[in-house]
Amino acid sequence: MSKDRLDARIAQMEQEGTVFRPGVDVGRDLDAERLRSDHDAVVVATGATRPRELSCGGRRLSGVHHAM
């Protein structure tokens, strides 16, 4: 995805109310229980330096992509 397209999508999500908190260490910077009690939903996205093959059903179906 191009940087311009990604920036536009992030801006759209922020306008819809999504709050991004990159670089937060849950347990050090933020208490896990408070995170759970203060929010309706939480997405924890951890990064990887390279994709890895999954051994699950449907992995090779059209439209399934690695995300990093």
pLDDT in tens, 17-62: 998 888 888 889 988 888 889 988 887 777 777 777 778 888 888 8
Write down the pLDDT at residue 1: 73
> pLDDT band at 68, cuts 50/70/90?
low
Please determine, for residue 12, whether its predicted confidence score (pLDDT) is greater than 80: yes
Give yes or no for a contact between 47 and 68, defined as CB atoms under 8 angstroms apart: yes
DSSP states along 14-64: HHTT----TT--BTTTB-HHHHHHH-S--------SS-----STTTTSTT-
Q: What is the pTM of this model?
A: 0.52
* Domain span at 6: 1-68
Per-residue pLDDT, 49:
75
Domains in the chain, number: 1
